[in-house]
Structure 1
Amino acid sequence: MEQTPYTIQGAACLVIGNGRLGSLLAHKLQVLGAHVTVSARSAQDFAKIATAGLPALDTRKLAGALRQFDLIFNTVPAPVLGSAELADVSPQGLIIDLASLPGGVAADALPPDGCRILHALSLPGRVAPLSAARAVRDTVLTMLEEEGVL
């Protein structure tokens, strides 16, 4: 909130990635009154996003679709925001990169003048390691149960 002149309520937010962090973040932003869109790549993730009642974008096709967002949260630990994608971000936009290293913003990509990028790489694991560890454990257990291993 210190980084923007507006509140989350009513803000147009994009969450890139629908994994553990992305899906939880999208839900929390929605509860706070944000207008949330989630980007993903797999049919399974698109189905989960639709079930949550949220609009979706294809992460592979973000170029030309980002100007509408006030806040962009990246949770994908791979460069998904390159020069073509950043060229379309609003000059007043804020990108918050929460992914693990290397993060989602390409090292050579420059945002438009005025647009800011906050590199908070691996933030959940650094500020809440016990909660992050529990989330990883729960995800691994769920995956093993789905595969019939447990």
Structure 2
Amino acid sequence: MEQTPCTLQGARCLVIGYGRIGALLAGKLRALGAMVQVSARSPRDFARIETAGLTALDTRSLAGQLTGFSLIFNTVPAPVLGAAELADLSDGCLIIDLASMPGGISPDATVPSGCRILHALSLPGRVAPLSAAQAIHKTALSILQEEGIL
């Protein structure tokens, strides 16, 4: 909120990606009164988003869908925001890129005047490395158990 002139209450927010971080972030934003939409790619994630009481967008077709968002949070560690997607941003939109390297913004994309990007790549690992490592360990262990490897 330090980076915006308003509180999150009533703000239109988009969370790109519905993995561990995206799901947690979307829930926290909603609890703070934000109007949250989430983008994902898989039918399974669309169902999880809708079950959580949120609205889903398809990450593969975000161009033309970003008008009106005050805040966009990216959690996808691949360039999902290119020139076509960024062209529709509303004046004053803040993009916070939380993904691991290389981040979610195409290097050749130009941010419209009046909009900003806050690069917070790999933030959990930098500010809370023990907690981040524990979460990654738990997720990897769960996947290995699901696959019958452990």
**Do Structure 1 and Structure 2 share a fold, with TM-score over 0.5?**
yes
- Residue 48 of structure 1 aligns to a residue whose secondary structure is helix
Counterpart residue identity of residue 52, structure 1: A
Q: Counterpart of 2:47 in structure 1: which amino acid?
A: A
Q: Hey, what's the Cα distance between the residues in 2 that align with 1:18 and 1:134? A: 19
Instruction: Spell out the pairing of 1:79-118 with structure 2 (5 A cutoff).
Output: 79-118=79-118
Secondary structure in structure 1 of the residue aligned to 2:29: helix
Distance 1:35 1:74 in 2: 16
Q: How much has 1:135 moved relative to structure 2?
A: 1.1
Give the deviation of 1:54 after TM superposition. 0.6
SS of match in other structure, 1:134:
helix
Deviation at 1:4, TM superposition (A): 0.5
Q: Compute the TM-score of the two structures, normalised by the length of structure 2.
A: 0.96
Task: State the Cα RMSD in Å.
Answer: 1.0
Aligned-partner Cα distance in 1 for 2:83–2:115 = 13
Q: Measure, in 1, the Cα distance between the counterparts of 2:82 and 2:147.
A: 35
Query: Is the counterpart of residue 26 in structure 1 residue 47 in structure 2?
Result: no
Q: Could you tell me the TM-score, scaled by structure 1's length?
A: 0.96
Residue 144 (structure 1) shift: 2.2
2:123 is aligned to: 123
> Residues 23-65 of structure 1, C-alpha deviation per residue, up to 9 Å, x if partnerless?
1111111111111111000111111111111100000000000
Identity of aligned residues (%): 72
Report the CA distance between 1:149 and its aligned residue.
Answer: 3.3
* 2:2 counterpart of 1:9: no
